[in-house]
């Protein structure tokens, strides 16, 4: 009997694994994968100031190439349970839809890959014919993502594990399963602009130096376009997210004003080149008259792009075989754990339609789970075929 992705997804949805809770989700996968012959490792990572996080690495086979599927079992909180049509951790099936927090992001995707792998192994003598299949599953993607994939990859590398190609099962599809595959992500860089003035009474502005004037001038200057986009990416964008003076009184000119911003940047930039560009623009606009400084907190979200090649072709062909669709290659959206995986092997993101992710009544059509399982199954077969 073929492995049932809907049953696996239901079981996973019934584990309340809101970050940082493991919720039984990894234990469930451990049992399922061990029974199928995988060697399964569980590792807990921690560091000061963050919650310890449970992670899982499973592998079957010892040969190269090692095809790895990556994902996360943690989910965002459900919010008000009563706002849901079905309880968020019940795994209810109703009208052909499977409901629950994580149905599309991304327990559904994990269930499909597990079902596809188990089905492939059952059909091929319980081991890959050549090569290995691995799963790299974290419990820390939705929150700060410091004790998850980034450390799991380091841990695996220290054990001598190598990866050849990775599918990250995030919900990449936009409107219909198979319409979009993600082959890269923009980088993300945060900054704070601090303008210094001199505090004083609002009735005597000549005795003070209002930093808000300078801040407004610099904000205007920093909003000029950063580029026109590149072959695979939209234009980079700088967005101010907060302007803060922290002044509770009405008759005081503040001594300092701050503005926070985030830049989503494409492959025309690096973090260093962006910082230099922003500081250059501020310097020109300040023209020696505005006292300012930038704060640049560290960012671990660099831009990347997985160049087209045989692996992308293989995945596209598998998607077309099952859905009839020719996926478009996209680099839009927020960051994902692919930003860490790309340092180890080429990575593509492909999974369910993401429209209800993080929403009340998150759900996935049962037929879509079956179709995604067929696509993953086809990818595995072509990869080792
Ligand atoms: Zn996700």
Question: How far is Cα 88 from Cα 85, in angstroms, rounded to an integer?
Answer: 9
| pLDDT tens profile 263-318 | 999 999 999 999 999 999 999 999 999 999 999 998 888 999 999 999 999 999 99
Q: Tens digits of per-residue pLDDT, 18-34?
A: 999 999 999 999 999 99
Phi-psi region of 182 (alpha: psi -120 to 50; beta: other; left: phi over 0): beta
267 is catalytic: no
Mean pLDDT, residues 219-225 taken together: 97
**Residues within 5 Å of ion ligand 1 by Cβ?**
105-106, 170
Q: How confident is the model at residue 334 (pLDDT cuts 50, 70, 90)?
A: confident
Peptide bond before residue 352 is cis, with ω within 30 degrees of 0: no
- Mean pLDDT, rounded, for 55-64: 96
User: 333: CA distance to ligand 1 center in Å?
Assistant: 12
Distance 114 CA to ligand 1 centre (A): 17
Cα-to-centroid distance, 170 and ligand 1 (Å): 5
Ligand 1 midpoint to CA 83 (Å): 22
| Residues contacting residue 157 through CB under 8 Å, at least 6 positions apart | 344
Name the percent of the chain in helix, strand, coil, to the closest 5. 30, 25, 45
3-class secondary structure per residue, 8-77: HHHHHHCCCCECCCCCCHHHHHHHHHHHCCCEEEEEEECCCCCCCEEEEEEEECCCCCEEEEEEECCECC
Catalytic residue among 74, 105, 256, 349: 74
| 344 alpha carbon – ligand 1 mean position (Å) | 20
Percent of the chain with pLDDT strictly greater than 70: 99
Mean pLDDT of 184-195: 96
104 CA to centre of ligand 1 in angstroms: 8
Q: What is the pLDDT of residue 195?
A: 98
- Sign of the torsion angle spanned by Cα atoms 106, 133, 385, 314: positive
Alpha carbon of 42 to ligand 1 centroid (Å)? 20
What is the per-residue pLDDT for 10? 98
Tell me, in angstroms, the distance from the centre of ligand 1 to residue 71's CA: 7
Q: How far is the CA of 169 from the centre of ligand 1 (A)?
A: 8
Catalytic residue from among 141, 170, 209, 256: 141
Is 127's pLDDT higher than 90? no
The question of whether 141 is a catalytic residue gets the answer yes
> What token pair was written down for 265?
């940047």
pLDDT above 90 for 97 = yes
- State the DSSP H helix or E strand holding residue 102, giving kind and residue range, or none if neither: none
Closest listed residue to residue 69, CA positions, set 82, 51, 56: 56
1 has pLDDT over 60:
no
At 2 the pLDDT is 67
Q: Please give the distance, rounded to the nearest whole angstrom, from the Cα atom of residue 107 to the centre of ligand 1.
A: 9
pLDDT in tens, 61-80: 999 999 999 999 999 999 99
Strands, DSSP E only, in 92-234?
93-94, 97-99, 132-138, 165-168, 180-182, 184-185, 187-196, 200-201
The alpha carbon of 131 and the centre of ligand 1 are apart by a number of angstroms equal to: 27
- What's residue 213's pLDDT? 97
- Ligand 1 centroid – CA 363 distance (Å): 14
- pLDDT at residue 183 is higher than 60: yes
pLDDT at 130: 87
Average pLDDT for the chain: 96
Centre of ligand 1 to C-alpha 325, Å, is 23
């Amino acid at each position: 009997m073929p492995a049932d992705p809907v049953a696996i997804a239901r079981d996973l949805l019934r584990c309340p694994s809101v970050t940082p809770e493991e919720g039984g989700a990894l234990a469930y996968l451990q049992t399922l994968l061990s029974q199928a012959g995988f060697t399964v490792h569980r590792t807990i990572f921690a560091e000061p100031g963050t919650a310890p996080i449970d992670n899982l690495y499973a592998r079957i086979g010892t040969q190269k190439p090692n095809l790895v599927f990556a994902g996360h079992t943690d989910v965002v909180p459900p919010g008000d349970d009563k706002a849901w049509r079905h309880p968020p951790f019940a795994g209810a099936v109703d009208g052909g839809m499977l409901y629950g927090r994580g149905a599309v992001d991304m327990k559904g995707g994990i269930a499909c890959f597990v079902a596809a792998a188990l089905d492939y192994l059952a059909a091929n003598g319980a081991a890959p014919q050549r090569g290995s299949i691995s799963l790299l599953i974290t419990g820390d993607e939705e929150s700060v993502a410091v004790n998850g994939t980034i450390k799991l990859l380091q841990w695996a590398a220290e054990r001598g594990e190598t990866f050849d190609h990775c599918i990250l099962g995030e919900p990449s599809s936009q409107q219909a399963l198979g319409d979009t595959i993600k082959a890269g992500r923009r980088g993300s860089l945060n900054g704070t602009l601090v303008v210094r003035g001199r505090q004083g009474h609002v009735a005597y502005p000549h005795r003070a130096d209002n930093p808000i004037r300078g801040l407004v001038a610099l904000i205007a200057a920093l909003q000029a376009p950063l580029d026109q986009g590149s072959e695979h990416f939209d234009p980079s964008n700088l967005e101010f997210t907060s302007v803060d003076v922290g002044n509770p009184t009405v008759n005081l000119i503040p001594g300092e004003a701050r503005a926070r911003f985030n830049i989503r940047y494409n492959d025309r930039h690096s973090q260093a080149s962006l910082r230099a560009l922003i500081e250059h623009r501020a310097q020109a606009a300040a023209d020696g008259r505005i006292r300012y400084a930038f704060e640049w907190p560290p960012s671990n979200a660099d831009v990347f792009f997985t160049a087209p090649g045989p692996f992308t072709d293989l995945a596209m062909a598998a998607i077309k075989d099952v859905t009839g669709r020719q996926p478009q290659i996209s680099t839009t959206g927020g960051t994902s754990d692919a930003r860490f995986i790309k340092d180890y092997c080429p990575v593509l993101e492909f999974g369910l339609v993401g429209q209800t992710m993080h929403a009340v009544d998150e759900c996935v059509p049962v037929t879509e789970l079956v179709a995604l399982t067929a696509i993953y199954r086809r990818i595995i077969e072509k990869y080792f075929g």
